[in-house]
């Protein structure tokens, strides 16, 4: 599917309408930005009446390819994401902007970048985060998932912002959970960080991680107390006063 200025769930609903199935029966691996031209796969159960999928073309979306498959596409089944970002400049600024971007990209390649959750995680005007203070029991499973995700992401961002302010976001600290680059394997930093581990971190072979509150391995040591204090500071925004 190729969609323009349309969110993934809305497109899934349109496909359900065309196929004559329930929206929850439509599968997709992840949510793509609304304000973009985005291409992604969807899965739809076999319709009772034949559908000419290759002819499906509407103002906000169109089918590019359609193939039979035996399984529903599950969330998270992503091989990766690719992005093309187009930048516009005013006349005469192109060379200066290009030089500035080259310098910034070189810095990112050398140091990495603080990987904040972006505003799309929090909904329009931060509505998902605001709803966390309204109580979760009144929400359906899908809405509850969005609200909890927004609250967890806000806590992560708060901890990351504090470490950026301290100048420690690109360094490992005792109590961190470190992740191996490109592998997704974690290990605890349970003692003072030696030069060997620091050097691996500088070479971007391992990275510090931040907290995503819920099930999983908890932080320890000084990181645990720092996480807890920053979570308490954010509590009025997420959970009311």
Catalytically annotated residues? 33
Q: Distance of alpha carbon 175 from its chain centroid, rounded? A: 24
Q: Which of 122, 123, 180 is nearest to 151 (CA)?
A: 122
- The single-letter DSSP state of residue 175 is T
Q: How far, in Å, CA of 238 to CA of 148, rounded?
A: 10
Residue 228's H or E segment, with its range, is helix 221-239
Catalogue the E-assigned strands of 54-211.
Answer: 61-62, 177-180, 186-188, 206-208
For tokens 């199935």, what's the residue?
21
For residue 32, give Cα distances in angstroms to 83, 92, 122, 224.
11, 34, 14, 33
């Amino acid at each position: 599917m190729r969609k323009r200025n349309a969110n993934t769930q809305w497109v899934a609903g349109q496909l359900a309408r065309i196929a004559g199935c329930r929206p929850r029966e439509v599968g997709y691996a992840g949510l793509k930005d609304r304000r973009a031209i985005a291409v992604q796969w969807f899965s739809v159960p076999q319709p009772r009446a034949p559908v000419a999928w290759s002819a499906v073309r509407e103002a906000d979306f169109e089918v590019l390819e359609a193939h039979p498959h035996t399984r529903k596409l599950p969330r998270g089944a992503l091989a990766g994401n690719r992005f093309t970002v187009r930048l516009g400049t005013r006349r005469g600024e192109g060379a200066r902007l290009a030089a500035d971007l080259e310098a910034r990209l070189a810095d990112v390649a050398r140091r990495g970048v603080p990987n904040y959750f972006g505003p799309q995680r929090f909904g329009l005007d931060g509505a998902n985060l605001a709803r966390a203070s309204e109580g979760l029991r009144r929400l359906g499973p899908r809405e509850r998932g969005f609200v909890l995700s927004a609250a967890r992401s806000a806590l992560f961002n708060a901890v990351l912002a504090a470490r950026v302010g301290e100048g420690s976001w690109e360094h490992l600290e005792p109590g961190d959970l470190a992740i191996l680059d490109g592998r997704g394997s974690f290990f605890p930093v349970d003692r003072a960080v030696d030069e060997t581990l620091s050097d691996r971190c500088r070479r971007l072979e391992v990275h510090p991680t931040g907290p995503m509150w819920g099930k999983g391995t908890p932080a320890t040591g000084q990181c645990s107390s720092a996480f807890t204090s920053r979570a308490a500071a954010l509590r009025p925004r997420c959970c009311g006063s």
